[in-house]
Amino acid sequence: MLDELVRRYRQMPQGVKASFWTVVSSVLLKGISFITLPIFTRLLTTSEYGILSIYTSWVSLLSILLTFTVWGGVFNVGMVKYPNRARFVSAIQGMSVTSVMVAGCISMFFLHPISQWLGMNEFLVVCMFVEILATIPFNIWVVEQTFDFIYQKKIIITICLSVLNPLLGYIGIVTFPWHVEAKVLSGLLPQVVIGLFFFWQQQRRGEVFFDKKIWRYVFGFNAVLILHYLSMQVLNQSDRIMINDLVGSSKAGIYSVAYTFAMLLNLVANGMNSSLTAYVYRCLKSGHTEKLAQINNIAALFVGACALVLICIVPDVFRFMLPKSYHEALWIVPPVTLAAYYMFLYPMFGAVEFYYEVNHYVTIASCVGAVLNVVLNALLIPMFGYVAAAYTTLLCYVCFALCHYYFMKCVLMKNGEHKSIFNGRRLFKNSLILSMLCFMVLVFYEDDFYRWIFIMVIVAMLVYKKQSFIDTLLVIRK
């Protein structure tokens, strides 16, 4: 049996191998983060954990804005458009680094008011700009490796960084009394070393820092998409920032722990989406879209079943892994996990918008979701407490998916495709049933007997439908 598996692996196309190891490394990275969670929740108070999550949220948000997200959709297009790929890589690196350095230097003159506005001390604000700057070369290198289906070095380095980060973080926290600063700095040091190395390597290879034509092209391509990328981060991060402002850093820390558990679903969803998006592109290019509806429905069914299993097992995991000070986060996990499922649906529809280069629809949907999220959080968190943020996140991702579905249909109509390539009625019917089941679980969330019966039913369904899932995976990864 082992020999047969090795033989099949060797026969896999390079792209399939790259996708496989990308998923494996993603699981390992999330696994390491998940395993170390009990350590840091015991070393850090809920307030300290909250400040750490706020720091991470601001890094994610400002990185989108300041770096132009040059490793996003524009990278793949640019790698095809420009024959001198090394020059393109070094030029976009120069553009991104210049932007962050200018913003960072200006911010140093207003450090105190900026730190008050962000809810962090001045040292963390400086660390934030350094981290954004240091991750640019590495992020560009990673997407270049992915583009070329080269996975070995990428996986080794990312896993080494993911091991070093918690290890140095633990040493820093137990050594110094400034726990949050020690954790941030310990993770920052290896990133700076890696960043400097790849900056030098890519700059030497491309031999250019400034290229007016490339900079103008990237700016024009991303001008609309920046709002989309930023809105996506607002959807992902604003709840923690607003909880910190409206309720306090302690509740933000508790919410962040719950969010970490819920986002484990992305291990499955992201791996599936990376292949699904490429499959949608291939089908649209060839004109053979008749199988898309069935493939996407089966993929959504699989991710939905995984969401239900995750929601059901979380109470036992909480009792085993976390101190009691974090247990109130348990009731946040179901709605945020369900939100992650609706987050999975967006790239199915968004891939069509990207394929036809109708970027403004993508931006409109993202902005609607982000604005709705901020407004609802501002209204509901003071009224119902920080748990309301989980339900506003869910509602916003439902609206987000619906917007993208509607815009996808508009794009198809404009391009002469009058028949829907997805079975929207069935997809949203299944999603509604999943949502009802997730909320039904809450009724017996603390009853282990009925909860585990529910888990066994879902697992039995997955086993029964396993061939459909396997066939779907084989089709989209051909």
pLDDT in tens, 371-385: 999 999 999 999 999
Are the C-beta atoms of 343 and 269 separated by less than 8 Å?
yes
Lowest-confidence region among 1-15, 147-161, 230-244, 417-431: 1-15
Show the tokens assigned to 15.
């792209």
Is 0.85 surpassed by the pTM of this model? no
pLDDT in tens, 128-142: 999 999 999 999 998
Euclidean distance between CA atoms 232 and 221, whole angstroms: 18
Average pLDDT over residues 240-262: 91
Q: What is the pLDDT of residue 393?
A: 93
pLDDT in tens, 197-214: 999 999 999 999 999 999
Q: What is the pLDDT of residue 424?
A: 79
Euclidean distance between CA atoms 346 and 327, whole angstroms: 31
DSSP string, 70-96: TTSHHHHHHHHH-S-HHHHHHHHHHHH
Measured between alpha carbons, how far apart are the two ends of the chain, in Å? 23
Residue 9: pLDDT above 80? Answer: no
User: In 68-211, where does DSSP find H-type helix?
Assistant: 73-81, 85-107, 111-118, 122-147, 152-175, 179-206
- Residue 321: φ, ψ to 5°: -100, -30
Lowest-confidence region among 131-135, 233-237, 413-417: 413-417
**pLDDT interval class at 8 (50, 70, 90):** low
Distances (CA, A) of 156 to 36, 234, 270, 323, 418: 19, 31, 20, 33, 46
Give percent of the chain above pLDDT 90.
Answer: 40
Average pLDDT over residues 310-333: 88
**pLDDT interval class at 20 (50, 70, 90):** low
Q: What is the pLDDT of residue 471?
A: 59
Q: What is the pLDDT of residue 11?
A: 64
**pLDDT interval class at 5 (50, 70, 90):** low
Residue 343: pLDDT above 70? Answer: yes
Q: What is the pLDDT of residue 199?
A: 97
Q: What is the pLDDT of residue 50?
A: 93
Place of tokens 């004109």: 287
- With CA atoms as reference, report the closest residue to 15 among 265, 206, 259, 278: 278
Q: What is the pLDDT of residue 474?
A: 53
**pLDDT interval class at 6 (50, 70, 90):** low
Euclidean distance between CA atoms 408 and 8, whole angstroms: 37
Show the tokens assigned to 244.
């910190």
pLDDT in tens, 252-270: 999 999 888 888 888 777 7
**pLDDT interval class at 275 (50, 70, 90):** low
Higher pLDDT, 399 or 22: 399
b/e map 299-330, b = 16+ CB within 10 Å:
bbbbbbbbbbbbbbebbebbeebbeebbebbb
